[in-house]
Amino acid sequence: MSTNAMDAASERLPEARLLRDALREAAGVDAGELQLVSREPLGTGSIAGFRTFEWPQAAAAGATGTPGAASTPSSPAAPTREVVYYVDTSGTPVPHETGLALGDPDRPDARIWLHPADPHLPALAPAAFGEAASTLLARIGLHSTALPELVAYRPGRRAVLRAPHTQGTAWVKIVRPSRVERIAGIHGTLRAHGLPTPEVLAWSPEGLLVLGAAHGAPADARDAPPPAALIDAIDALRTRLAAAPLGVPARASLSAQQHWYANRLADSLAGSAPAQALARDVAARARDALEAAPFAEGGAGVTVHGDLHLGQIFLGPDGAVTGLIDLDTAGRGDPADDSAAFLAHALASVAMAQEGAGSAGPDAARWAAIAAEASARWMPQTSRMRPLTAIHPLAHALGASEAGMHARATRLIESAARVLHEA
């Protein structure tokens, strides 16, 4: 999908129109072309991020002679900068507003902020500047060897910075202040019960944690063990995890958002009636199957990861699991949610590998073999597995569709349908 096509898809989003109007009316700024960075559900709405060039209207007027006329990045009199804006329609309360709040001051219809001033993550802006993060590390005895690098960001939810220091690498995680103590506690409890989770080196009530590095090599590397041995190691890890006494609930099952994904897909795939219909059919069939088999086994459930996939797992030379990361979602829940998340991630990896060049064949075959092994092991365990697994590709498909990658979105929806039809 070309950049121009992605930009055109971005411009059709309601958040894009909201952003343009708000910047022009409230800040006197004209945005350039908007490119969607991310969009995901939160609260009763979503958070959408747009990368753009912006330049003041005053400069535009000087360059064109027309008050309020939009200039272009090539106009010498119009200084530009690349920025990322986020449009938040979640309705989720924040400690303090950091940008534009539209509508009711107590519960805005929408808010707009300029990265990194995420109002849900007040520790992000201070930590995002290298010297501030380095100073923080120095206070706990870690001396930086390079500026920390932002490696992951889910607006409104969390951010992660890689921080190299003289003794190795630390990971600075930014979360909502209301969640930081819970996450620190999860790490401590799991480590105390022998799980290979990173050590919490420090944390603050503002929503910041400093974590040690995981040991071993990423389990999604090409030289990972064969699928059967890999799933053996993951099953052993999950057995140990299930026995850990976490007293908090896991992240809400993705099944609660199946129709949100289907409805948004219907909007973003407006030119493809078959894909729209298939997405709605998958969501409806998944709902019916889950209602027919509600989760009741074990009462309150067992300890699960909450977002299990190979990217969260590290292995030692003997193939045993030596690291488990991203524990924000962990807690008591349905083990089928972890099985479904893992399998769906493998199936999505097959679809993406098939789009690549060069090593696409071997990579796709490796992911397909992992998916086949996981499916053979876990599908028979509960009738909830198929509908739970089918919901995840809808989430992946929505992200692809809203970025203008409609062919990928359609393949992912078809993958979800195959999971259900194989029953």
| DSSP three-state, residue 248 | coil
CATH code for the structural domain at 124-211: 3.30.200.20
For the chain, what percent of residues have pLDDT higher than 90?
A: 51
**Burial level of 362, CB count in 10 A (0-12/13-18/19+)?**
exposed
Domain spans, the chain: 3-114, 124-211, 217-421
Query: What does the alpha-carbon distance between residue 305 and residue 337 come to, in Å, rounded to a whole number?
Result: 9
State yes or no: pLDDT of 76 exceeds 80.
no
pTM: 0.84
CATH number of 217-421: 3.90.1200.10
Work out whether strand 313-315 and strand 331-333 pair parallel, antiparallel, or are unpaired: unpaired
Mean local confidence (pLDDT), 73-99: 80
Q: How far apart are CA 65 and CA 74, in angstroms?
A: 16
Q: What is the pLDDT of residue 322?
A: 96
**Taking each helix axis from N to C terminus, what angle separates 406-421 and 385-402, rounded to the nearest 10 degrees?**
170
Residue 4 is predicted with a pLDDT of: 47
State yes or no: pLDDT of 299 exceeds 80: no
Evaluated on CA atoms 195, 199, 203, 208, the torsion sign reads negative
What is the tally of helices (H) and strands (E) in the chain?
13, 16
Strand partners of residue 211: 171, 200
Q: pLDDT at residue 64 above 60?
A: no
User: In the predicted model, what is the mean pLDDT of the chain?
Assistant: 85
